[in-house]
Amino acid sequence: MARVRVKEYIYLFLILGLGMLLTGWTIVAYLAILLNIRDIPSAFVNISTIVLVGFLVLLIIRYLVLLWASYHQHRESLEFNRKMREISFTPSVSIMVPAHNEGVGIEASIQSLLELDYPFLDIVVINDGSKDDTLERALKWAGTYRNAQVRVVDTGVNVGKAAALNIGISQSDSEIIVTMDADSRLEPQSIIRGVAHFIDPEVVAVAGNVKVVNRENLLSKLQALEYILGLNLVRRSQGFFQCVNIIPGPMGFFRRKVLEEVGGYESDTFAEDCDLTVKMLARGMKVNYET
């Protein structure tokens, strides 16, 4: 199935939005007549009812559009992964792990990265001015292993996640940069599947599928549901149009040269991940989603 470019995506949704609006108000007008809403004495209640019904109609249509795009993205993803199993594509990869006071889990995080299925990985742990024993624990893992090398960079003071990532990236020359949070864990096939998208020279970034692992109680199960419906469903549908609007912090893939082109991460924002992704989309670049 042909993919839609960013500009075409914008035009498509403008047309779709107008169509949804007209359809929604047509249904609202019909319901207003059917339910004889005009006979309600209060004008405020009358208007509020119409607005509420219209909002619900548009909400349902939006959800159906998300399901439609997500379904087609899933089908494309299955076919793409099947084809990639027959192709050897393993560009150089560096994984950036910014860590601030992550002494409790940093060793488990590094160990999980050493278990990834990829020919060779450059793992860079950036200690961002931690006050605990993060640096000492990370240094214990520094060295060269069978399929990876672990390096530890110390910023000295707390410079923030965005600046820490930029420092780590500046000390790597790999073609693909992978960013992850120090408290995240990657599945063994994560790197090889995410990197596969870059076989298309126009793809500049890939958003990973973030899931809640510790589903031990009702609250954590609700959070897992929120990630599936509120985040991953939307990103999957955006992936169909190759314009995902946020590369999540727990797992993101980037072409190194493009990171340099757009100026890397910005420190003057609370959402550096979104800021970086929007800068890429504004230049008409393709951003994919890996399921």
Q: Is the pLDDT of residue 47 over 70?
A: no
Distance of CA 76 to the CA centre of its chain: 18
Q: Is 87 a member of any domain? A: no
Residues 6+ apart with CB under 8 A from 179: 95, 96, 98, 165, 247, 249, 251, 252, 254
Q: Is 82 a member of any domain? A: no
Q: What is the pLDDT of residues 202-251, one digit of tens each?
A: 999 998 877 766 777 777 777 677 766 667 778 888 888 888 888 888 88
Q: Is 88 a member of any domain? A: no
The C-alpha R_g of the chain, in whole angstroms, comes to 23
pLDDT value of position 45 = 61
Q: Is 214 a member of any domain? A: yes
Total domains in the chain come to: 2
Same domain? 68 vs 117 = no
Q: Is the pLDDT of residue 11 over 90?
A: no
Same domain? 193 vs 270 = yes
Average pLDDT, the chain: 82
Last residue of a domain, one of 75, 101, 130: 75
Burial 102-140 (b: 16+ CB within 10 A, else e): bbebbeebbebbeebebeebbbbbbbbbbeeebbebbee
**What is the phi/psi pair of residue 80, to 5°?**
-65, -45
Q: What is the pLDDT of residues 239-281, one digit of tens each?
A: 888 888 888 888 899 999 999 999 888 888 778 888 899 889 8
Same domain? 126 vs 180 = yes
Same domain? 49 vs 98 = no
Q: Which amino acid is at 188?
A: P
pLDDT value of position 15 = 66
Q: Which residue has the higher pLDDT, 7 or 182?
A: 182
Same domain? 55 vs 97 = no
CB 205 within 8 A of CB 277: yes
Long-range interactions of 154-161: CB distance < 8 A, separation 24+: 154/126, 154/127, 155/126, 155/127, 155/128, 155/129, 156/129, 157/129, 158/100, 158/128, 158/129, 158/130, 159/128, 159/129, 159/267, 160/128, 160/267, 161/98, 161/100, 161/128, 161/249, 161/265, 161/272
DSSP β-ladder status, 176-179 and 93-99: parallel
Overall average pLDDT of the 111-121 stretch: 92
Q: Is the pLDDT of residue 27 over 90?
A: no
Last residue of a domain, one of 75, 110, 136: 75
pLDDT value of position 271 = 80
Q: Is 229 a member of any domain? A: yes
pLDDT category, 20, cuts 50, 70, 90?
A: low
Q: Is 1 a member of any domain? A: no
Q: What is the pLDDT of residues 140-181, one digit of tens each?
A: 999 999 899 999 999 989 999 999 999 999 999 999 999 998
Domain with 54 in it: 6-75
Overall average pLDDT of the 72-79 stretch: 82
pLDDT value of position 6 = 42
Looking at residue 161, which CATH number applies to its domain?
Answer: 3.90.550.10
The pTM of this model reads: 0.77
Q: Which residue has the higher pLDDT, 290 or 175?
A: 175
Q: Indicate the range of 95-109, 133-147, 201-215 predicted with least confidence.
A: 201-215
Burial 236-269 (b: 16+ CB within 10 A, else e): bbbbbbbbbebbbbbbbbbbbebbeebebbeeee
Same domain? 33 vs 163 = no
Q: Is 86 a member of any domain? A: no
d(CA 135, CA 63): 45
Q: Is 85 a member of any domain? A: no
CB 269 within 8 A of CB 275: yes
Tell me 5's DSSP state. P
Overall average pLDDT of the 59-68 stretch: 82
Beta bridge mates, 149:
122, 144
CB 191 within 8 A of CB 180: no
Same domain? 61 vs 102 = no
pLDDT category, 2, cuts 50, 70, 90?
A: very low
